[in-house]
Amino acid sequence: MRNAAKLMFQVLRVFLLFAACTIMFYYGIIWVSQEYENYRRYDEPEGTAIKVIQQNSSEEESDWFSRLLFFYLNGE
């Protein structure tokens, strides 16, 4: 009888530990999500930032081949 009660106590303790860790993980994920929810990553950069690429739609149709070749040669 004592072994069964001891076993039930250990099972209950493990369950409570698992539940507490799960709840802490859940609220941690919610905190991280709220932290980055208002992060404005599409704003104009400040400081000395420069534009990296310029897309011109007036270029030739054969430009896609040179872009593809550039990608295969340089990996960019």
What is the distance between the alpha carbons of residues 64 and 70, in angstroms, rounded to a whole number?
Answer: 10
What is the distance between the alpha carbons of residues 4 and 19, in angstroms, rounded to a whole number?
Answer: 22
Q: Which residue has the higher pLDDT, 52 or 5?
A: 5
Q: Which residue has the higher pLDDT, 24 or 36?
A: 24
pTM of the model as a whole: 0.49
**CA distances in angstroms from 40 to 43, 47, 48, 52, listed in the order given:** 6, 16, 19, 20
Q: What is the mean pLDDT of residues 5-34?
A: 96
Q: What is the pLDDT of residues 28-69, one digit of tens each?
A: 999 998 888 877 777 777 788 777 766 665 555 567 788 888
Q: Which of 4, 25, 22 is nearest to 14 (CA)?
A: 22
Q: How confident is the model at residue 25 (pLDDT cuts 50, 70, 90)?
A: very high
